[in-house]
Structure 1
């Protein structure tokens, strides 16, 4: 049902460009439609008010016997990521077909491409986050998905000592999206995390003296 709402929202964007009266120099076509601010909505039984990115209230559009909803507001309400591909004039909803490595634009301490530090179990991952400092310590970094993706597939390995406390957090409101442990015996552990609508992620682990945290940035990715 939720995906059907999203599809309807996407249709709102696409179908509103199908009528007579083409504007000069564009592929847009002019139509006559009406805003209907009186219409109310509920999502999973709870009142919902469509808004734009700046928080302004949006009214649905009534056209030719159908009601069209703002796709970005609806996708946010239903927890489905949305992105607009301006180059191809395409609205992208949900998971992407191709994963985007978190290595793209990654910054922070313990980020390395040193060939002596980027290998794990015989495989060179080329670009990693590797906290191999000494002492009991926290190990963390921030990612910036900017609300463009539905899922994060994050790979993490504990080396030397088990990681007893690990979490991924929405940095906007400190809500925990994943809480777990990572044992050395598990090898490279993959976490699948729903990050729809999340702008910033805080990844954190407690690492004991003699232990290390290894995160391959090339095989951890957004979708």
Structure 2
């Protein structure tokens, strides 16, 4: 902690962050206001909404990611995965290096448009698809889910792909684990939602990838809603923006 008095923002060491910010939600449920937001955007945007408005939006959006909804979306996701695997196979057969991130971004946007808006854009086969081009410019509240999910998901996939490519032993171990839980038959050679849930090592691998390469290391911040005292440290005044150092949290050996 800095010995200087707080002004309008501060950084918390990892132990204080985990001990206070998450566990005492009532004191730190507001977010930093984004300066360039228009008033109507600030009120409706999940990532800048405050207090009860944020709570209501979170309540409305949460069911979108329930296990039942995800299970129903599986056929759409699998359709996009099949298109991705076809493109990667084609690139592999060319025998030349290629940027997998480009294909992962198209795959992610294709999946979001399909699951979120019911549109089959086929943008993986058409990199000049107007949906793909325009989607990268969209940041209005109603498309917030798409804009945020696009970059974070594709980047996470790129990082775990990098880890697989640079750690062949882990790649083999993960493949063997998946094969032990997946038994294709003549009717269906795609893993079911239930089968994927049983792949514990796959889940561990992806989580560790996000641990090593956090996607949004500086985004998490909270604004104190009232004066809050940290024992043996000092008082954080109401209205102070507390920014979380994600890298310190992820690489702290004591956590």
TM over 0.5: no
Higher strand share: 1
Higher helix share: 2
